[in-house]
Structure 1
């Protein structure tokens, strides 16, 4: 692992930027209300990254986003669009109808109900499930939610990914990609999810399970490609979350499988790049976090965590993948920042060729990532 004896000028510049950002406000940001039913908000984020496997540490623009929300007694809606450094993408865009106090429906590009919601993680980097398409995923379809307080049930059907195009790699959610080697596209998906909330003294437990079935259409995108067949994908998960005082613990086990014909791989894409994952795996996540109320000038709250993910695979051409993120989220008025140390072995986005695949020697790599966000 590379070490530094002193910060570089860029790093000095980063900490000046960080301290300036933390000192600008002392109240939590809210969206700007237009009237009783509409509000508009958004965010501007910059990012600093240092990698022990590359010499390209830098401070750069990461994101500008716009949020629009609508809420009346019966109807509601929400949309978010994001501009990154090199791409712009839709995050979500749906309309909703409150049937009654316990039931509502959503139609459009809405979150897929699978596993721990809203996130199976605490860090800027999410868990490994995000990169497999099973965390903070948004697709186009219909979502029914029944929430009576102690029980929540979700039933959803999605006709496609958010773009209905597997060759569109510029996207936020990780979806099945149409590539020359794996020419498939999402073409129908059913999700069922149930969760029970149990209170015991100061502790609140969430215990639940999820099922997902997918239809993937064969879409050869090269002239003279071999004929193929549509395939199916299956996934199931069980989860537990405990909130006690300012502690939070999350555990989840997931199993997924795609009926790929031969090479035991399938392609996903997001943020402009396709990559390969094992066609089946067991995935375990174990996270713990602790919140701290502080009075450090403009800083009012810290949430420190360790999020661990491991992907277990077996078979020729496959190898386990691991991701661990240790860090803190910092609240300072309208600024919300992450300081994360990410370590991974054979893991996409941390110097790995994909997820769960074997492309030769596996070794640990790590990176420091600091993200400063101004939310309005």
Structure 2
């Protein structure tokens, strides 16, 4: 604008001598003089208009600078909003691009859930507890993490008890196709009926020998379609890093794992003199699923695992386990059955294998066969907040123990109640040589013991 004003002024200055020259060549008339004066007035008005326009644009430029400064100021939120200007076009485009990326990803955020549980316990084998009419104990607080970031899946769970804390699982995964998924980390060992070979709070006896809901550190591949389930996995060691893992206490774990060899003269609950751990194990599970009708289905499968036992320096034995399992569902009924056998073939004489979980050691026979038979009935109801009642009876038998000894037997008659976020187990447990019911898997008792347990959990 300044250049325009300057050009007009120069033009006016150059035209004035030309007019004067014309006037010197002849007589100057009044009409010519009047035309010159009018031209000069028009030039003056034009200059005034241009100066006013220049002043207006300078003021607008100052407003732009002030607006940009306010937007960059850390206290811009305290200033009345102004109309956005073209200088933010790049920022707006970037925001639109990011919003598009988020929408295209179509990922739910990582969610955090968990549970808080407490329980009532009455035991006929504990005279103090029996005389008091039972006790109410804190069970656990747990946190669950699950979701997807990009194409990577996350799943993890951590638990806090009164007497210990432990990781239950922690893995990342990837869906290679609609049917194939890979998982790396502390992931579930594929074995037997899944997700559990039981309906009750105490699982089946398979859990106490490490063959139900066990999690170890390794890599696993899963295949799923309408007719087949297939899992194959390699586990480097247990969830605590094996026999020489850096942990405060090897028995502070969620699921049972072999932790030592029970040598002659040691008690069944003693800390083992010879510590061992799982090493370089393979596991596989296959199940065929049949949709018999709209309200009935059947699944039958085989599972197997094998690996080494290591004392921190050398392999000192082999371990293996096999199972055949099946589930039949019709209407509201579910029937489960499983036959399992495990074997620890150790290089030294022993009186069993030391296992550990829940802050204490136990002993299991180095070889045994387990049978389970479960039945459950699910009843939808509308009783206040209660929406479902599941009635069940789970039976476990461990027999053919290497070295002989009495069988381990556990029967759980119970009911699970769903009420919003509350899930409550009412379990009447009758057992012989069963952990958490006054016994040990390697026990030789002939006495049957009873525990009544109510576990109340709020899940969020």
> Please, which of 282, 285, 307 is the counterpart of residue 214 of structure 1?
307
Query: What are the ranges of 5 or more consecutive residues in structure 2 without an aligned counterpart?
Result: 1-106, 244-248, 261-270
Task: Name which of 90, 95, 114 aligns with 1:42.
Answer: 114
Secondary structure of residue in 2 paired with 1:130: helix
Q: Secondary structure at the match of 2:203?
A: coil
Shift in Å, 1:199: 1.4
Deviation at 1:314?
4.2
Paired residue for 1:75? 152
Task: Identify the residue that residue 357 of structure 2 maps to in structure 1.
Answer: 270
Instruction: Give the secondary-structure state (helix, strand or coil) at the position aligned to 1:259.
Output: strand
TM-superposition CA deviations, 1:225-255 (whole Å, max 9, x none): xxx8610011000001011111100000001
**C-alpha displacement at 1:71, in angstroms?**
2.2
Task: Give me the whole-angstrom Cα distance separating, in 2, the residues matched to 1:209 and 1:182.
Answer: 33
TM-aligned CA deviation for residue 47 of structure 1:
0.7
Does 2:369 match 1:282?
Answer: yes
Alignment match of 1:244 (pick from 312, 330, 336):
330
Q: Report the Cα offset of residue 323 of structure 1.
A: 0.8
In the other structure, the counterpart of 2:452 is: 368
Q: Is the 8 A contact 2:367 2:402 kept in 1?
A: no
CA distance 1:367–1:312, shift in 2 (3 Å): same
Q: State the alpha-carbon separation in 2 of the partners of residues 257 and 125 from structure 1.
A: 23
Q: Which has the higher strand share?
A: 1
**1:164-179 alignment runs, 5 A limit:** 164-166=241-243, 168-178=250-260, 179=271
Which runs of 5 or more structure 1 residues have no equivalent in the other structure? 1-34, 221-227
Secondary structure of the 2:446 match is coil
Distance 2:401 2:141 in 1: 41
Contact 1:95 1:108 in 2 (8 A): yes
Report the equivalent of 1:184: 276
Give RMSD over aligned pairs.
1.6
Larger helix fraction of residues = 2
Is 1:308 matched with 2:395?
yes
Corresponding pairs, count: 332
Q: Provide, for residues 16-55 of structure 1, a one-character-per-residue CA deviation record: whole Å limited to 9, x for no partner.
A: xxxxxxxxxxxxxxxxxxx823111111111110000102
Provide TM-score, normalisation by structure 2.
0.70
* Offset, 1:180: 2.8
SS at match of 2:136: strand
Deviation of 1:182 (Å): 4.5
CA contact (8 A) 1:105 1:145 kept: yes
Task: State how far apart, in whole Å, the 2-side matches of 1:271 and 1:180 are.
Answer: 16
Secondary structure at the residue paired with 2:125? coil
Q: TM-score, normalization: structure 1?
A: 0.85
SS of match in other structure, 2:329: strand
Determine which of 378, 387, 393 is the counterpart of 1:291. Answer: 378
* Deviation (angstroms), 1:356: 3.9
Q: Which one has the largest radius of gyration?
A: 2
Deviation of residue 73 (structure 1)? Answer: 6.6
Structure 1 residues 320, 182: CA separation in 2 closer, same or farther (over 3 Å shift)?
farther
Q: 2: distance between equivalents of 1:313 and 1:252?
A: 16
Residue pair 1:182, 1:267 contacting (<8 A) in 2 also: no
1:85 is displaced (CA, Å) by 1.2
Among 248, 256, 260, the residue aligned to 2:342: 256
1:141, 1:156 within 8 Å by CA — same for their partners in 2?
Answer: yes
Deviations 1:249-289 (A, max 9, x none): 00000011001332341010000101100010110000000
Q: How does 1:1-376 map to 2 (within 5 A)?
A: 36-54=108-126, 55-56=128-129, 57-71=134-148, 74-166=151-243, 168-178=250-260, 179-201=271-293, 202-219=295-312, 230-260=316-346, 261-316=348-403, 318-352=405-439, 354-358=440-444, 361-376=445-460
Greater RCO, 1 or 2 (C-alpha within 8 Å, sep 6+) = 1
Query: What is the aligned partner in structure 2 of residue 30 from structure 1?
Result: none
Deviation at 1:173, TM superposition (A): 1.1
Q: Contact (CA 8 Å) 1:39, 1:68: kept in 2 or not?
A: yes
